[in-house]
Amino acid sequence: MPSLAPTNKAEAFELAFEFSPVGMCITENRVVTICNAAFGRMFGYATGELLGKRLEPLYPSHEEYVHIGNVGLPIMRETGTYSDERIMKRRDGSLLWCHVAGRALDRSDPFACAVWMFEDISAKRPLVGDLTVREREIARQLMTGGTSKQIARVLGISPRTVEAHRARLMKKLGASNHGDLVARLIGNS
């Protein structure tokens, strides 16, 4: 039986990229230039169908696409990397939780070229309720442990507005307190 092992580094890297259990892509100015099959499958696209396409259709809304870019850009300029957990959108419109991590090739212009990893974490963190764009943003921040003041600063809104959205989230999800809300958001309740 012939060996399936790669014979050189280039083959090894290609094999690792193509058969990675997580979605991987390289982007230029938030446009997909190369991606593996897992990336396409995760979002409901055929292999290669996302090449040359902006990442925006993979976000639940234009606002979330812009917001994540605005949050991630300064962090990537400072550190060269960015990661978070966020709600993304499949081709069929269904939503999923993703862990996303990326590295910029040039920190002075992070979006010029970046390498990204997308992991579907929906099995660990099922989506709950029908949330608005702002509620999804608040939920994402709550799961990072942010206080109302910290969340308000990140989102450019008042702490009182954060509290109002938190109260609506608690009501929608039937949570009795903050800890219960976070547990329901992460799928532990």
Note the pLDDT tens digit of each residue in 37-87.
999 999 999 988 999 999 999 999 898 899 899 989 999 999 999 999 888
Check residues 35 and 8 and name the one with the higher pLDDT: 35
Asked if residues 155 and 147 have their Cβ atoms less than 8 Å apart, the reply is no
User: Span 133-185: which CATH code?
Assistant: 1.10.10.10
For CATH 1.10.10.10, list the domain ranges present in the chain. Answer: 133-185
For CATH 3.30.450.20, list the domain ranges present in the chain. Answer: 9-120
User: Span 9-120: which CATH code?
Assistant: 3.30.450.20
pTM above 0.85, yes or no: no
Residues in the chain: 189
Checking if the pLDDT of 133 tops 90, the result is no
Scored b (16 or more CB within 10 A) or e, 10-28 reads: eeeeeeebeeeeebbbbbe
SS3 label, residue 38: helix
Angle, CA 133 vertex, CA 127 and CA 134 arms, to 5°: 105
Asked if residues 33 and 51 have their Cβ atoms less than 8 Å apart, the reply is yes
